[in-house]
Chains A and B, each alone.
Chain A
Amino acid sequence: ITKTIFPKAEHHVPKCFVINAEGKTLGRLATTVSKLLRGKENSFYTPGIDQGNFVVITNAKKIKVSGKKEQQKLYYRNSQRPGNLKVETFSDLKNRLPIRILEEAIWGMLPKNVLGRKYYKRLFVYSST
C-alpha cells in the first residue's frame, strides 16, 4: 500500500505558456488561462502548493465577446469616496486599456487568497504582439 504523494514547493519548475487572444471569446479563454496559472493540468496538482505556470497573452485588444456585450457589458470601479462610482462599457475599456479586460476576467476566476494573488502575478497581458 503506497502513500499519496505530496510534492514540495521547491521542486516545482514553472512552465511558460504564450497564448494569442486574437478572435477568442473572453470567458472561455479566461477559464483555460486561470487553470494554467494554477497548474491544474498537472497530475501531481496539490491544492495548497504553488505549482503554477507563467502565462503570456498577446493581442489582447482583439478579444471578442458574443451578443451585445460590446455595448452592454459594464465595468465598474470605485475609489470609496462618495459619488465616485465610475462605469465603463466593454468597448470603451477596450479602447482605453485593453489589457484590463483580460486581467479583470482572469482575476475573477482565480482563488481570492495568498496563492491566488501569487498566480495573478505570473500573468502577463499585452495588447498586441
Chain B
Amino acid sequence: MASKKHKKIIKLAKGYRGRANRCYSVAYHRVLKAQQYAYRDRKVKKREMRKLWILRVNAASRMYGVPYSNLINMMANSRVQLDRKVLADMAITEPLSFRSVVEVMKSIFPKA
C-alpha cells in the first residue's frame, strides 16, 4: 500500500510547520526541498567553515601585528604546512603556540 512510502516521507518531515509534518501531499514537497538544500549545503558548509577560520586567524594574527594576507603569504613561501583550520584552532585553544608560529614567520620574513 502507499502508506509505507508515505510514512517514510512523513518521518523525514518532523518539526515542519503546519500540515507539512502530518499530511503526505504537503510534506512531500517540503521534504524534497529540504533534501535539495541538504545536498547543496554539504558543499557549502566546507566553504563557510573556511571563511570562519580565515576570520579567526585574521583577528588573532592582527593582535601580533600581522594581517592575514601577509601571514598566508609568509606561510606559502616557507615550508610550514599548517592549514587554516589548525591555525584557527590553535589561535583559540593554544594562543602561545599560535603566537610562536607568527613570530617565527616574522623572523624568517622581515617584511621588506
Interface residues of A (CB under 8 A from B): 2, 4-5, 40-47
Interface residues of B (CB under 8 A from A): 49, 52-53, 55-56, 59-60, 62-63, 85, 88-89, 91-93, 95, 98
- What is the predominant secondary structure among interface residues of chain B facing chain A? helix
- What is the predominant secondary structure among interface residues of chain A facing chain B? loop
- Taking the closest CB of chain A, its distance from the CB of B95, in whole angstroms, is 7
| B89 close to A44 (CB less than 8 A) | no
Complex interface: chain A residues within 8 A of B89 (CB):
2, 4-5
10 cross-chain pairs, A with B, having the tightest CB-CB distances, nearest first: A43-B60, A43-B91, A44-B92, A43-B59, A43-B56, A45-B59, A2-B89, A41-B59, A43-B92, A5-B92
| B62 close to A4 (CB less than 8 A) | no
Q: Which single member of A2, A5, A40 contacts B55 (CB below 8 Å)?
A: A40
| A42 close to B59 (CB less than 8 A) | yes
| B56 close to A47 (CB less than 8 A) | no
Q: CA A44 – CA B89 in complex, angstroms?
A: 9
